[in-house]
Amino acid sequence: MKFLFLSLSLLLAGCASTAKNFDKRRTERISAYNALPPEFKAAVDQGQIKVGMTQDAVYIAWGSPSEVLKSANEQGEVTRWLYYGSYLQEYRYWTGSRGGYRRGIPSERLEFDYIPHDYVSAEIIFSNGLVKSWTMQPRPQ
């Protein structure tokens, strides 16, 4: 239960700091932000990604990727930015001896563990420095 409460507290604290982080990223790359066309600037302000955006615009909107993969093809360099999400999966199990009693109370009890899992929550593909496509993945069930 303590782990669940701690995780929930960290999540809420992270949401409160999102606007602060956005302002910091925008300030870091203010010249790139100011050079954006109005349509891209509005999307970045709302944390959205659009085809044709630069890597700077995506960084300002979403922050640093969890992983960067580079490759090349006949059209030029291709870069994939992966963003990871995480979730807690609950595992239930019985402990103690079945049918056993201690002081008149059954000795078995249901226990819970919460195991964190990471997954790719979003992928952005850049071709020659511009967003070619992007996808968001739902959290696994």
Task: Report the DSSP beta bridge partners of residue 81.
Answer: 68, 124
User: How far is 124 from 134, CA to CA, in rounded Å?
Assistant: 4
Q: What is the mean pLDDT of residues 103-124?
A: 85
Give 79's DSSP letter: E
pTM (whole model) above 0.75: no
pLDDT score recorded for residue 101: 62
Would you list the domain boundaries of the chain?
Answer: 2-136
Q: Check pLDDT > 70 for residue 121.
A: yes
Task: Report the DSSP beta bridge partners of residue 102.
Answer: 105
pLDDT score recorded for residue 99: 61
Q: Check pLDDT > 80 for residue 2.
A: no
